[in-house]
Amino acid sequence: VNQKIAEQCKLLNIPVSVADNKYLCTFYFPGIIKQDNMVIALTSSGENHAKVKKASENIKRMINDILD
């Protein structure tokens, strides 16, 4: 079902993220860090979500330390 939906989305130029198949994705959700008027987004291009989460948490801590 996911593959068929992805194929239809591509035909209609609708961005699609397929959770179980990174090769069908036309975009990836980044890890987002928002602090005051700054926004930082990280992605591993679908390769390693856990690594992005860990990096995002570390960067957020560093930013908080700098701004406090």
The Cβ of residue 28 has, within 10 Å, a number of other Cβ atoms equal to: 14
0.85 surpassed by pTM: no
> Which amino acid is it at 49?
H
- Indicate whether 68 pLDDT > 80: no
- Alpha helices by DSSP H, listed for the chain, are 2-11, 49-67
What are 38-57's pLDDT values in tens digits? 899 998 877 888 888 899 99
Res 8: pLDDT: 96
